[in-house]
Chain A
Amino acid sequence: MMAIDVDRYLHTERLPHIWCPGCGVGTVTGAFLRAALKLGLEREQTVVVSGIGCSSRATGYLDVGTVHSIHGRALAFATGIKMARPDFTVVVLTGDGDGAAIGGNHLIHACRRNIDITCILFNNQVYGMTGGQLSPTMELGDRATTAPYGSIDPPFDLCRLAEASGASFVARGTAIATRQMEKLIVEGIKHPGFAFVEAVVPCPTEYGKRNAPASVIAMLEDEKARTVPVAKAAKLSSEELADKIVTGVLFRDPGMPEFQHSYAAMVAQAQDAASKGPGR
């Protein structure tokens, strides 16, 4: 039984979790757990790092090595962990505020290095933990406590940002398509390089409260209706794709140089030089 098997990666004594009814964070965390099970990740060899926010609280329930770090910096912590222990599987769980606003610079640099870390970014288009403030992925015109007249801030397309920054695996899934989400996470973790997986998740409490559609069911149905698989999207114009959620593996190049491989090669070169003489 899958539901019981994933318990091996959970601190079941820490449950129930803090997420609101209808929140997509738990759904996608579930997809991560099933992906971990499918990959047979060793608990002692796996480190999950998060920042601050609703999605980042997931580390408090996972029975692997977990680091609940500071706001926006999960990828920087993860980079240090991965560089110190290249044998670890390192996964970052972050949100749109944590990963794309305060942590946006770390995101683009982690992509640029193409270091072998998997970043799952839960995009609910709102600051949920702090009570519904404007996020950098919120659509124009949407309302937030800090955008009471509707947002005038154009949103990020995080998958395009990740690809342009140098990530060698970029994918997007939604909370309604959980099997696909699980598959994308499996492929992201297996990928030898920086894998960016955007998970589009509903926040009925803080987003739905001020914007339509309001209910969880309506939000999920809306997500489903707007979903376009990547193969189909290739045949559509940009006008037709406006307002759509393109899902699947958007970019993949396993041949791009991975940072730790490059570092190991540099160490070998430096040690060879050191063996020949002391100075520069």
Chain B
Amino acid sequence: MELWHSHLLREKVDQSSLLVQGNRACALGALDAGVRFFAGYPITPSSEIMEAMAFELPRVGGTFIQMEDEIASICACIGASLTGQLAMTATSGPGFSLMQEAIGYAIMVEAPLLVVDVMRAGPSTGRPTAPSQGDVMQARWGTHGDHPAIVLAASNVADMYRLTMAAVRFAQRFRTPVTLLADEVVGHMRESFSPELIGRYRLTSGDFDFTPGYVHPELVREVHPPHVLGSETNPHVTGLIHDETGFPTNDPDKSSTFIRELYDKVGNHRDELCLYDVKNEGKGRVCIVAYGSCARSARAAWKMAEWEGLPVEVLHLYTLFPLPVEIIQTVARRVEFMLIPELNLGQYAREVRKMAENWTTVISMGKIDGTLISPREILDRVTELVGKYESV
């Protein structure tokens, strides 16, 4: 197997597995997905992604630039994206906040882009090296106005690799920025990483065409014709509401149609976009709905619950937005409780409640002290809930 960026994997354990840091696995995934442009600004706990790209991109003839701040970083990425390059940036909460206006611009002009946010405890400077999932709603609604969002969440090193690839693929297919969220612990942890993964998830030309301006035939009716600078059409790209010509319009019908089309090109493809995994399907009275580091604890809690004979299933979400309505409602119909452990005060639990409260009781289990939620904490809560159920 070809490992041209082998220094990213140089912490070799043996031939069959490698010890890799989450942030480096993200850089590896991006390079394998064809990302050849990175503009960024250093910030803990995401900087290793940028450092890896600074080393690797010149070696493969790509472009790396350290900009003067996060706003400049994402704007440079959008500029590169408009020429047809696959561009990405990586940051953390404070930098992600600075990027929000430009993310809205990228949505508006339909510029494919990957934004990785390795979340740290906030608000403000917060605790830069403490894990958090506090940016979930910022990833959904951080920029102003009504807009679609595709947001993925990684829970381990392998996810950092494969979800980075998935994010690039979604960005290209749906011509919109995609956010990949990781908690600090996922970015900084080192785990064994099978080199087979690299082969298994590597994108091929069958996944998408890298030609600037390419739109997959399946999506040609939904995705507006791409703007590619340097093409014969001489596009006009503007963040003003525009029509099919690319030029601004104040026409009420056209304005409404345009924004609805942006929404629909994402919302109509939930089947493809919503990635998840159900454990112990159909056998739980309690379903633990989790993402990121909490999903790992949830999986461990399920194992412990099995030993204790408690009826638990786990819904591990890799896609937070667009909302995985179908699977949430399917599970909600069969369980008494949905328990949502997350490293915030229930940001995603509120979303789940909106979708599920007609059928089940949604319980938020938030934690904001900068430490992880342990499997034992989840199990204790499950025991309490099942006990409540038994006594009813």
For residue A274, CB closer than 8 A to chain B, the reply is yes
Complex: how many Å from CA A278 to CA B58?
A: 13
Stretch from B76-84, B217-225, B316-324, B327-335 that touches the partner: B76-84
- A residues in contact with B240, CB < 8 Å: 68
**Is the Cβ of B72 less than 8 Å from the Cβ of A79?**
yes
A-B contact count (CB 8 A): 142
- B residues in contact with A269, CB < 8 Å: 58
Given A69-B105, A79-B76, A271-B61, A59–B239 Cβ distance below 8 Å?
Answer: no
Q: Mark contacts of A217-254 with chain B using CB atoms, 8 A cut-off: 1 yes-contact digit, 0 otherwise.
A: 00000000000000000000000000000000000000
**Is the Cβ of A278 less than 8 Å from the Cβ of B75?**
no
**Is the Cβ of B58 less than 8 Å from the Cβ of A81?**
no
- Option from B3, B61, B82, B85 in Cβ contact (under 8 Å) with A267: B61
Complex: how many Å from CA A274 to CA B234?
A: 37
For residue B294, CB closer than 8 A to chain A, the reply is no
- A residues in contact with B237, CB < 8 Å: 66-69
- Option from B60, B82, B236, B239 in Cβ contact (under 8 Å) with A60: B236
Q: Name the distance in Å between B265's Cβ and chain A's nearest Cβ.
A: 22
Chain B contact-residue range equals 35 or more
- B residues in contact with A214, CB < 8 Å: none
**Is the Cβ of A88 less than 8 Å from the Cβ of B229?**
yes
Q: Mark contacts of B94-107 with chain A using CB atoms, 8 A cut-off: 1 yes-contact digit, 0 otherwise.
A: 00000001100100
- B residues in contact with A76, CB < 8 Å: 67, 71-73, 75-76, 79
Chain A contact-residue range equals 35 or more
Q: Mark contacts of A34-70 with chain B using CB atoms, 8 A cut-off: 1 yes-contact digit, 0 otherwise.
A: 0000000001110101000000000110011111111
**Is the Cβ of B7 less than 8 Å from the Cβ of A279?**
yes
Taking CB atoms and an 8 Å cut-off, the chain A residues in 76-105 that contact chain B are 76-85, 88, 105
Query: Interface residues of A: mostly helix, strand, loop or mixed?
Result: helix
- A residues in contact with B76, CB < 8 Å: 76-77, 79-80, 83
Q: Give the B-binding residues of A (Cβ under 8 A).
A: 11, 14, 43-45, 47, 49, 59-60, 63-70, 73, 76-85, 88, 105-106, 109, 263, 266-267, 269-271, 273-274, 278-280
8 chain-A/chain-B pairs, Cβ below 8 angstroms: A65-B230, A66-B237, A68-B238, A77-B76, A78-B79, A79-B79, A106-B68, A279-B10
Q: Give the A-binding residues of B (Cβ under 8 A).
A: 3-7, 10, 37, 39, 55, 58-61, 63, 65, 67-69, 71-73, 75-83, 85, 87, 101-102, 105, 229-232, 234-240, 247-248
